[in-house]
Amino acid sequence: MNTPSQPTAHADPHAVDATPHAGSLREYVTGFLLAVLLTAIPFWLVMAHAFARSGTTAAVILGLAAVQIVIHMVYFLHMDTRSEGGWTLLALLFTVMLVVIALSGSLWVMYHLNDNMMPSSMHGMGNMHDMRNMP
């Protein structure tokens, strides 16, 4: 019988390395500085009215937000293809896929809601007086 202080005679070749990755101070400082920079740039873009169109400003801010999400995942959550055999990255990709499907479906429904909620008189089926008399 093995006691906890004795090593086992064989190691499982399929075992997943579950030891957490401890980041160095340099990694944390780099991640922090990048996060601060990626927060300050959008603030400056809005305050300085850097772009004439607000849609362009919003698109740049969304792009920088996506980059900041990746920075947080890499430098603070230590997500990469090596951690837990790549399963955390696979779970993240699946989550992103579900979020994209949910958001695009919601936006599609909201975009077409105006057409679906129009009175029938707009579609040539009668007028508002006919609608009041419906059962």
Residues 6+ apart with CB under 8 A from 131: 119, 120, 121
**CA neighbor of 65 nearest in space, from 27, 88, 73:** 73
pLDDT at 19: 53
* Residue-level pLDDT, tens digit, the chain, 135 residues: 555 555 555 555 555 455 555 678 999 999 999 999 999 999 999 999 999 999 999 999 999 998 998 899 889 888 877 777 778 888 888 988 998 999 999 988 888 887 777 665 555 555 666 666 666
Amino acid at 95: T
Q: What is the pLDDT of residue 28?
A: 94
Distance, first Cα to last Cα, the chain: 81
Global pTM value: 0.57
Residues 41, 60: Cα–Cα separation, whole Å: 10
Q: Which two tokens stand for residue 65?
A: 């937000």
For residue 32, the model assigns a pLDDT of 96
Q: What's residue 9's pLDDT? A: 53
Quote the pLDDT of residue 134: 65
In angstroms, rounded to a whole number, what is the distance separating the alpha carbons of residues 82 and 98? 23
pLDDT of 4? 55
